[in-house]
Structure 1
C-alpha cells in the first residue's frame, strides 16, 4: 500500500526591524500562528543565517514579511529597506517572500503585552515576536476564507 500522506510545510512570518526581528511560524496545516523568537540584529547577515536555519528546521515553504506602510497607504524609506531584505531572503532561501501590510501590528502587540502586565524591558523582547505572530495569523485567516493555502 502506497503512503499518500502529503508532506506538510509551514509559513514563516517576519516582523523586520533595525534592532530586532520578530519571528512566527504556522502549524503544518496552516491554521494557527505560533511566535518563535525575537532576534537581536547586530549584523543583517547573521539574521539571514538564523532565518535560513529556521526555514530548514521547520520545513518552511513560504515567507511572509511585514511591510511598513504609512497610514495613508504610501511607502517610505523603511519600506524600501524591507523590500531589499525580502530580495536577500529570496536569494538566500529560494522561497517566495510575500510582503504584507503590517500597519498597527506593533501597536496591537504593545496593547496585548500591556494587558498582560509585563514590564517595559520584557515588552521590548516580546513585541516583535507577537507582531510577527499577528501578521501571520491575519494572513492565514485571509487565505482560509478563500479556500485554504492552495488558493494563494
Structure 2
C-alpha cells in the first residue's frame, strides 16, 4: 500500500507540515509555513504536494477537551476545506488534542526549548497528527 498523505497542524501564525515514507509507516516533520496570505500559503503547499505527489490532506482538528467543536476548530475546518479544494486533494481530519503539548514534551526531553522553537513544535505536532492517521489506517486495513 502506497501512502501519499500530508499532515497539517494549522494555526493562526504557522502551519506545521508533515510527510511520511511511501510505506506509510513513519511520519516526520517536513517544514513550517509562516502564514502570510491565502495565495502564499497555497503556493507553498502546492509545491510540497507536487514534489511528493500527495493525494490526501490530513488536518489536525482542535476539538475542545469535551469533544465539541469550538471557534478555532471551525476556522481550521474552513481553511482545510478550502485548501483541499484548491489543491485537488481528499481531506481527512484527525483529533489533534494534546499533540502540541506532546511535541513540546518530546522536545524538552531532548533538551530543546519549545518556547524558542515554535516552528519545530508545529512540525512535530503535524507529524504526530499524521502518525495517528497512519496507525488508524493500518488498524482498519483487512
**TM-score in terms of structure 2 length:** 0.93
Query: Are 2:101 and 1:107 equivalent residues in the alignment?
Result: yes
The size of the alignment, in residue pairs, is: 142
1:66-85 correspondence to structure 2 within 5 Å: 66-85=60-79
1:1-152 correspondence to structure 2 within 5 Å: 8-147=2-141
CA contact 2:114–2:120 (8 Å) conserved in 1:
no
Structure 2 gap segments, 5+ residues each: none
SS in 2 for 1:70: coil
Q: Deviations over 1:112-139 (max 9, x none)?
A: 1111111345431200000000111111
- Looking at structure 2, the residues matched to 66 and 120 of structure 1 have their Cα atoms a distance apart, in angstroms, of 19
Q: Deviations over 1:60-115 (max 9, x none)?
A: 11110011100000111111111111121122111111121100000000101111
1:3 is matched with which residue?
none
Moved more, 84-93 or 59-68: 84-93
Q: Which has the higher contact order (CA 8 A, sep 6+)?
A: 2
- Looking at structure 1, the residues matched to 125 and 55 of structure 2 have their Cα atoms a distance apart, in angstroms, of 21
- Looking at structure 2, the residues matched to 95 and 39 of structure 1 have their Cα atoms a distance apart, in angstroms, of 19
User: Which structure has the larger Rg?
Assistant: 1
